[in-house]
A and B are shown apart, each in its own frame.
Chain A
Amino acid sequence: KQEVTQIPAALSVPEGENLVLNCSFTDSAIYNLQWFRQDPGKGLTSLLLIQSSQREQTSGRLNASLDKSSGRSTLYIAASQPGDSATYLCAVMNYGGSQGNLIFGKGTKLSVKP
Chain B
Amino acid sequence: DAGVIQSPRHEVTEMGQEVTLRCKPISGHNSLFWYRQTMMRGLELLIYFNNNVPIDDSGMPEDRFSAKMPNASFSTLKIQPSEPRDSAVYFCASRRSDSGYTFGSGTRLTVV
* A residues at B contact (CB < 8 Å): 32, 34, 36, 41-46, 49, 89, 91, 98-107
Residues from chain B with Cβ under 8 Å of A45 in the complex: 103
Determine which residue in A34, A89, A98, A99 has the highest number of CB atoms from chain B within 10 A of its CB, and name it: A99
Please give the distance in Å from A100's CB to the nearest CB on chain B.
Answer: 7
- Interface of B, secondary structure class, is strand
**Does B61 make an interface contact (CB < 8 A)?**
no
Hey, what's the 0/1 contact readout for B41-60 against A, CB within 8 Å counting as 1?
A: 01101001010000110000
Known: A98-B98, A105-B42. 17 other contacts (CB 8 A): A34-B100, A34-B101, A42-B105, A42-B106, A43-B104, A43-B106, A46-B100, A46-B102, A46-B103, A91-B43, A99-B48, A99-B50, A99-B55, A100-B56, A101-B45, A104-B42, A106-B42
Interface residues of B in 47-98 (CB under 8 A from A): 48, 50, 55-56, 91, 93, 97-98
Contact A102 B101 (CB under 8 A): yes
Please give the distance in Å from A8's CB to the nearest CB on chain B.
Answer: 15
By the criterion of a CB under 8 Å from any partner CB, how many residues of chain B are at the interface? 22
Q: How many A-B residue pairs have CB under 8 A?
A: 50
- Interface of A, secondary structure class, is strand
Contact B42 A43 (CB under 8 A): no
Contact B91 A46 (CB under 8 A): no
Contact B100 A101 (CB under 8 A): no
- Chain A, Cβ-Cβ closest to B105: A43
Please give the distance in Å from B94's CB to the nearest CB on chain A.
Answer: 12
User: Cα distance A43–B105 when bound, in Å?
Assistant: 4
Q: Identify the 4 closest CB pairs spanning chains A and B, nearest first.
A: A49-B100, A44-B103, A43-B105, A104-B43
User: Cα distance A11–B31 when bound, in Å?
Assistant: 34
User: Cα distance A102–B59 when bound, in Å?
Assistant: 12
